[in-house]
A and B are shown apart, each in its own frame.
Chain A
Amino acid sequence: MLKTGTILGLSFGYIGLLFAIAHYGDKRAELGRSIVSNPYIYALSLAVYCTAWTFYGSVGRAAHSGLWFLPIYIGPTLTAGLGLVLLRKIIRIVKVHHITSIADFIASRYGKSSTLGSVVTVIAVLGVIPYISLQLKAISTSFLILNQYPAITTAVQYADIPIVKDTAFYVAMLLAVFAILFGTRHLTVTERHEGLVAAIAFESIVKLIAFICVGLFITYGMFDGFTDIFNRAQKVEALSKQFTFIDRPGVFTGWTMYIILSMMAFMFLPRQFQVAVVENINEEHLNKAIWLFPLYLLIINIFVLPVAFGGVIRFTGIEVDPDYFVLTLPMAEQHEALALFVFIGGMSAATGMVIVEVIALSTMICNELVMPVLLRFHFPKLKLQTDVSHVILIARRLSIILILMLGYAYFRLFGGFYALVSIGLVSFVAVAQFAPAIIGGIFWKTGTRSGALGGLIAGFIVWTYTLLIPTMVQAGLFPQSFVTQGPFGIEFLNPFHLFNLNVSYDGLDNIAHAVFWSLLANTGVYIVVSLYSQPSAIEHSQATLFVDVFKYSGKDSESTFWRGKASVQDLKLMLERFLGSKRTNEAFSQYAATHDVEWKSTLSADAGLVGHVEKLLAGAVGSASARVLISSAVKEEPFGIDEVLDIVNETQQVIAYSRKLEKATAELKAANERLKELDRLKDEFMSTVTHELRTPLTSVRSLAEILHDNPDVSERKRKQFLTIIVKENERLTRLINQVLDFQKIESGRMAWNLVDINMLEVINDAIAATNQLIQEKQIQLTLDLPETVPPIRGDRDRLMQVLLNLISNAVKFCDRHQGAISIRLLTNAQDLHVEIIDNGIGIAKENQALIFEKFRQVTSSEGTRPTGSGLGLSISKSIVKFHKGAIWLSSELGAGSTFAFSLPISKKQNS
């Protein structure tokens, strides 16, 4: 016999144990020796996914429809595998931005929008309350079934039991106390609860062991192993048809929809988000957890089919709800201890879910619904209070109680009409609506607030129409014809076959149908509206911070969105009101240590500090409320026209600067080209000069050798040779002098000896010096000189050099047979012109500009290289230039050339 007292005592004893474990976990966390900071506990806490639905409901589902219980666990296996891609990114974002819940996540991503936060919260609460009620129903029903032992009946009537006698009610109250104690003890900036996680992990162990025990007992105690059960099931028509899927097109679509649905539910159920993301201590834990958690799912599901089929075989002809086979089978075998253990296992599955879910929901309700209202209407009053954290904690505690009351009420009102699994699936579809906004939000920067809001609302409306209203039909709130014939008899709008769509295999097809339509509407609206709406500046910056979180989280990624001034004292006071002075001081000294700030000397906060305080506040009250709070403390200055102009100006300066850079680069490039060219010319020059030096040297040497080796050379010959040697020597000297002169002029070390010069004298001297040369070549020389010329100031020797150069050039290039050179001197008011005209081969137009450059030698039309260094004209040009004159040339091929230069007349004489 099982006494009611034993069952109750055990139940409350078990909950007491949970309190103890959670308390121990919190204590250890305070001491800094966490017991939950390892991948195994993390994986076990993820297993809060397995609720009473898994523990009791899966067997019921399997008994009705075979494998259809399974996609709910395959989906999470697949998404868990993606953990390093998806979950890791979400975890990083949550840690960087101090996000507290899934509503906060979406609100923060889309520009810290409190509207979006509240919409998500409403959907989450409406969607999840039936799910909580499911757990309470499981606790209540399992208690009633066990309490009737040894009789076995699952036809229990809640309506007959007054609330004060319902175990589920007391369990709900205890859970509220637990959630308040371990979920809302104080406001933290991270919203992590280690004691809670420890308790949840413990519950995961209990439910797993309980289920395996009962599975082993049924499979190997009551039957002869898996083979025996399936062999016997094969003979039962209702069971053997569950071995395969009905081969109909809609079936596989439905199957896929369930997998997709559970993939999303695993991440976006508020409790899953809480344990997987918010309570995550170390990203590294993911590495092990992403296969440990699927393994847990696999193990807890191994015995589902044997138990389901075994139950159907065992209870042939008896009316027993297959949802509770795990409990009724040990009872039927008079196995009291196992039945009790199973009951505790079922309770652990149910309570774990309820605890985490209410804490997650209460955080959302408080931060996304209560705080915005408080801040809007009562902030002036709140300002007077020194410590606001009490107000927030009270709001959270009240919302925990409220959620549990709502869950309990839902269970009392509607719970009797549905199997465990179908209630849970309705909740899954509700939270799946968060998927587009979140997945889009972390990978797609273009997603906007309006898009997310529109998508969520569209999805929610479809969910309400296709799933929530039919639930009410079942409960009698709407006429039955609504789901059988469609609203007002319009079959087209039937909530189970919207637009006559059929995704069906049996009575539960409305879920797959709702998943398809709601997600289509949701995603469609999200994408289209996002593409056609303009994001605000803060949406832009949040989108970038979320999508590129791995790029920014390494650096100091405080939002630089705050402009204007805030005093450190104001910020500190505000933070104290929410976090208490101890935590505030810790936070500030930590910031000071990492950012090298001295608080005593710092009065006004910079953008970095303001952003940091905003994040700390966000951890306590949610990002949207934190923004409102901060904006009240920071005197944010709107962008004025001056600042806009400044920005424009700055941009222009940058552009101008880059243009300058471009120009400088081009100049450098040209200079480089010139240098290269000069280098090439220098090489050429060297080879010319050495060649020029070698020719006379060779002839001097060979003549000297002849004289040396042949002493009997005739006197006449000897004289001739010696004359050549002397001439060649003179040529050498001239060449070397030229090179030296050129070098001096180039390096600016030429010593100039400036005196007043009569240009006529210089010309006559030059003619006298070159007379012999001219005579030798039988050139006719014509002079056209005035009687007197005004004196000029200059270096006589250098100007002489110029003249000699030009005359010897003219001699060199004038006609070989009938050479004629004329020299003219002209004067005007400003300067003297000297022209030297020859009747030689002339110089091509394209070479005229080059001829004055250093090292240039113009190849004549016959292709022969002229003799000389190629420096003469260049030196002449430098000399003329030094005298502030000009030198030029006019020539035509075959018509001779005219070299001319002008020198300014000395000003002293002129004035």
Chain B
Amino acid sequence: MTNEPLKSRRLVAVFLLGLVLFNFPIISLFNYKLLFFGIPLLFIYMFVSWILIIFLIALITKPHSKRSRSM
């Protein structure tokens, strides 16, 4: 129970991170016509950021996670 507010605050932080990652000006840093491992750089960037956000949410909401406690 005492963990709930902390979890929420961490999720808000992830939300803010997402806002930064998926918006100007960060995306403009990857706005180049380059193939990275055969895939356009911008596409890679989008999907990797997306996976990162999902991973972070999963990590934070994981029940009794030792890792999230020591963070």
Task: Give the B-binding residues of A (Cβ under 8 A).
Answer: 67, 70-71, 74, 77-85, 226-228, 230-231, 234, 240, 243-245, 247, 252-253, 255-256, 259, 287-288, 290-291, 294-295, 298, 302, 305
Number of interface residues of B (CB under 8 A): 36
CB closest chain-A residue, reference B25: A252
Contact A230 B15 (CB under 8 A): no
**Which residues of the partner chain B approach A71 to less than 8 Å between Cβ atoms?**
22
Bound-state Cα–Cα, A240 to B46, Å: 17
**Which residues of the partner chain A approach B4 to less than 8 Å between Cβ atoms?**
84
Contact B42 A77 (CB under 8 A): no
Contact B23 A256 (CB under 8 A): yes
Bound-state Cα–Cα, A533 to B61, Å: 41
Contact A81 B24 (CB under 8 A): no
Contact B11 A85 (CB under 8 A): yes
Contact A252 B23 (CB under 8 A): yes
Q: With A231-B38, A290-B61 in contact, do A85 and B12 touch (Cβ < 8 Å)?
A: yes
Q: With A81-B15, A81-B57, A244-B32 in contact, do A256 and B46 touch (Cβ < 8 Å)?
A: no
The minimal Cβ–Cβ distance linking B44 to chain A, given in whole angstroms, is 10
Bound-state Cα–Cα, A78 to B22, Å: 10
**Which residues of the partner chain B approach A228 to less than 8 Å between Cβ atoms?**
38
Bound-state Cα–Cα, A74 to B4, Å: 25
**Which residues of the partner chain A approach B51 to less than 8 Å between Cβ atoms?**
298
Bound-state Cα–Cα, A85 to B23, Å: 22
**Which residues of the partner chain A approach B71 to less than 8 Å between Cβ atoms?**
none
CB closest chain-A residue, reference B28: A252
Bound-state Cα–Cα, A74 to B7, Å: 21
Task: Give the A-binding residues of B (Cβ under 8 A).
Answer: 4, 7-8, 11-12, 14-15, 18-19, 22-25, 27-28, 31-33, 35, 37-43, 46-47, 50-51, 53-54, 57-58, 61, 63
The minimal Cβ–Cβ distance linking A755 to chain B, given in whole angstroms, is 80
Contact B43 A298 (CB under 8 A): no
Contact B32 A81 (CB under 8 A): no
**Which residues of the partner chain A approach B27 to less than 8 Å between Cβ atoms?**
245, 252, 255
Contact B8 A245 (CB under 8 A): no
**Which residues of the partner chain B approach A77 to less than 8 Å between Cβ atoms?**
18, 50, 53-54
Contact B43 A67 (CB under 8 A): yes
Contact B57 A256 (CB under 8 A): no
The minimal Cβ–Cβ distance linking A140 to chain B, given in whole angstroms, is 33
A-B pairs with beta carbons under 8 Å apart, 14 shown = A71-B22, A74-B18, A74-B22, A79-B15, A84-B7, A231-B35, A243-B42, A244-B40, A247-B31, A252-B23, A252-B27, A294-B57, A302-B47, A305-B43
Contact B57 A290 (CB under 8 A): yes
Contact A259 B38 (CB under 8 A): no
**Which residues of the partner chain A approach B38 to less than 8 Å between Cβ atoms?**
226-228, 230-231
Q: With A231-B35, A287-B61 in contact, do A82 and B47 touch (Cβ < 8 Å)?
A: no
Bound-state Cα–Cα, A181 to B63, Å: 38
CB closest chain-B residue, reference A73: B50
**Which residues of the partner chain B approach A253 to less than 8 Å between Cβ atoms?**
24
Contact B11 A243 (CB under 8 A): no
Q: With A78-B15, A234-B35, A291-B57 in contact, do A256 and B43 touch (Cβ < 8 Å)?
A: no
Bound-state Cα–Cα, A288 to B65, Å: 13
Find B50's partner among A85, A256, A298 (CB 8 Å cutoff).
A298
Bound-state Cα–Cα, A85 to B4, Å: 10
**Which residues of the partner chain A approach B25 to less than 8 Å between Cβ atoms?**
252
Bound-state Cα–Cα, A230 to B14, Å: 31
Q: With A287-B61, A294-B53, A294-B54 in contact, do A245 and B15 touch (Cβ < 8 Å)?
A: no
Contact B8 A243 (CB under 8 A): no
**Which residues of the partner chain B approach A247 to less than 8 Å between Cβ atoms?**
28, 31
**Which residues of the partner chain B approach A295 to less than 8 Å between Cβ atoms?**
54
Contact B42 A67 (CB under 8 A): yes
Bound-state Cα–Cα, A230 to B53, Å: 25
CB closest chain-B residue, reference A85: B8
**Which residues of the partner chain B approach A287 to less than 8 Å between Cβ atoms?**
61, 63
**Which residues of the partner chain B approach A252 to less than 8 Å between Cβ atoms?**
23-25, 27-28
The 7 closest A-B pairs by CB, nearest first: A227-B38, A252-B24, A243-B40, A291-B58, A291-B57, A78-B18, A287-B61
Most buried by A among B12, B15, B57: B57
Q: With A78-B19, A85-B12, A243-B33 in contact, do A256 and B39 touch (Cβ < 8 Å)?
A: no
New A-B contacts (5) at CB < 8 Å, excluding given A255-B23, A302-B47: A230-B35, A234-B35, A245-B42, A256-B23, A294-B50
Contact A70 B12 (CB under 8 A): no
Find A81's partner among B18, B41, B42, B43 (CB 8 Å cutoff).
B18
The minimal Cβ–Cβ distance linking A690 to chain B, given in whole angstroms, is 60
**Which residues of the partner chain B approach A245 to less than 8 Å between Cβ atoms?**
27-28, 31, 42
Q: With A81-B18, A294-B53 in contact, do A70 and B46 touch (Cβ < 8 Å)?
A: yes
Bound-state Cα–Cα, A877 to B61, Å: 80
Most buried by B among A77, A80, A244, A256: A244
**Which residues of the partner chain B approach A291 to less than 8 Å between Cβ atoms?**
54, 57-58, 61
**Which residues of the partner chain A approach B18 to less than 8 Å between Cβ atoms?**
74, 77-78, 81
Q: With A247-B31, A259-B22 in contact, do A78 and B11 touch (Cβ < 8 Å)?
A: no
Find A78's partner among B24, B35, B47, B53 (CB 8 Å cutoff).
B53
